[in-house]
Structure 1
Amino acid sequence: MKFAKVVPESLTAGTFAEVYDDIDSMLRGKVVQNENAEKQRITHAIIETAVFERVKFTKSKLAKLELTDVIFKNCDFSNCDLTNATLYRVEFYDCKLVGANLEGAYLSQVLFDHCLLDLAGLNKLDVRKTQFVSCNLKDANFSDNNLRETELVDCDINNLMLYDTSLKNLDLSSCRFATLELESKTLRGLTVTEEQAAMLANSYLGVRIKY
């Protein structure tokens, strides 16, 4: 599903460093490609109607980042501080967010497609109409979240932590996991396969199922 309202042909070439030149720390209408933007330090940067391709943000501190109508392709956000970010109509394709911290972020109409989010801190999120498609979320922390119209499709979520998060209307039947970290009280309304249900029943309800 497409969310970002971006026409790449209408954008001009730019660099992430331009965000420092604007009084409001804003970058708009740009295509940024093949850039090393590691270890940046900026609070409340605003990026609108932009495309980033093969940009490396590793270990950057981008707290309170605001993104609207932005597409990221093959970008690296590993170990980034993205706490309290606001993401509205944003798409990530083949991006790396291993160990990234998005605690307290607001996500609305966001797509993560073939992304690596292992060990990511995805806590205290307010999530609306967001999709994780063919992503890795192994050992990620996905706790204390408010999930509305959130989809996980064909993802590896082994050992994903889901504490203090209602799983009602969440469908994990296409996902892969041997174990999850959660509370039995949050299982009501969760959709899983028969095999997954047996595993969860054994782990959290002490029920043994014979076949």
Structure 2
Amino acid sequence: MANTFKIQQPKIPDDLTSTSFQSMDEPYYEMSIISDCSIMSEEIHRIRFEQVIFKNVTFTDVSFKSIELTDVIFDHCDLSNTDFRDGSIHRVEFKDSKILGLNLSDASLGNVLFQNCNANLISFGYSKLKQVRFDSCLLRNADYYESNFTKVAFKECDLNEANFEQTPLKGIDLSTCTFDRINVSIKDIAGCEVTEDQALGFARLLGLIIK
């Protein structure tokens, strides 16, 4: 039931222009493809990307706080430890990418897909997620502290040691996911959809002794 919503795909035209990343006075990129390159040691506030595809791009020591991403695809990219704090991220796909430690805290995400990504240690603290799907992702030690979920789906993800403290999980279906332990407030697990085995793990959080 929790997975029956649709996510709007990025609206990207076919005739994109191939371009390279370079610093500019008004940091705005549109209708372009950036591919097979590295973006290194960049710190830009409020950079904007609209109708852009990143393909085989590595981000190294990059801070794009308050980034605006609209109709964007990251395909086979490496965004490990990149800083997108306070970002506005809408109709965006992260596909087959390494986003280890990506910082999306205090961000607003709408109609976003994470598919086949290594997203261990990713941070969503204090973020708002609306119509967001995580499909076949590694999310070990992911941080969702005090996030706001509206139509969020997890399908076949590894959520071991993920942190959901202060994040209500009502209507969230974790039954296809794997984890030995997740961190969650007892008051926030009501209405979360889990398997029988997962329910036993939650029962231990209550201090119950299972016989």
With the shorter chain as reference, the TM-score category is over 0.9
Q: 1:15, 1:81 → 2: CA distance?
A: 20
Which stretches in structure 2 are left out of the alignment for 5+ residues?
1-6
The residue aligned with 1:207 is 208
In the alignment, which of 68, 73, 84 is matched to residue 75 of structure 2? 73
The residue aligned with 2:33 is 31
RMSD: 1.2
Residue 24 of structure 1, CA deviation: 2.9
Residue 148 of structure 1, CA deviation: 0.1
Q: 2:194, 2:60 → 1: CA distance?
A: 35
In the alignment, which of 187, 196, 199 is matched to residue 198 of structure 2? 196
Q: 1:114, 1:97 → 2: CA distance?
A: 11
The residue aligned with 2:11 is 5
Which stretches in structure 1 are left out of the alignment for 5+ residues?
none
- 3-state DSSP of counterpart to 1:109: strand
The residue aligned with 1:163 is 165
**Contact 1:59–1:77 under 8 Å retained in 2:** no
Q: 2:39, 2:8 → 1: CA distance?
A: 26
- 3-state DSSP of counterpart to 1:200: helix
Write out per-residue CA displacement over residues 138-182 of structure 1, whole angstroms, 9 at most, x where no aligned residue.
Answer: 011111000000001100000001111000111000000000011
Query: Which structure dedicates a bigger proportion of its chain to helix?
Result: 1
Q: 2:162, 2:36 → 1: CA distance?
A: 32
The residue aligned with 1:148 is 150
Residue 2 of structure 1, CA deviation: 5.6
Q: 1:150, 1:16 → 2: CA distance?
A: 32
Structure 2 residue 21 is the aligned partner of structure 1 residue 16: yes
TM-score, L = length of structure 1: 0.94
Letter paired with 2:80: S
Q: 1:122, 1:47 → 2: CA distance?
A: 20
Residue 207 of structure 1, CA deviation: 2.2
Q: 1:98, 1:58 → 2: CA distance?
A: 12
Residue 87 of structure 1, CA deviation: 0.4
TM-score, L = length of structure 2: 0.94
Q: 1:56, 1:39 → 2: CA distance?
A: 11
Letter paired with 2:44: I
- 3-state DSSP of counterpart to 1:130: strand
Equivalence map 1:164-183=2 (5 Å): 164-183=166-185
**Contact 1:102–1:123 under 8 Å retained in 2:** yes
- 3-state DSSP of counterpart to 2:40: coil
**Identical columns (%):** 33
Residue 99 of structure 1, CA deviation: 1.3
Residue 209 of structure 1, CA deviation: 3.5
Larger RCO (CA under 8 A, 6+ residues apart): 2
Aligned residues: 205
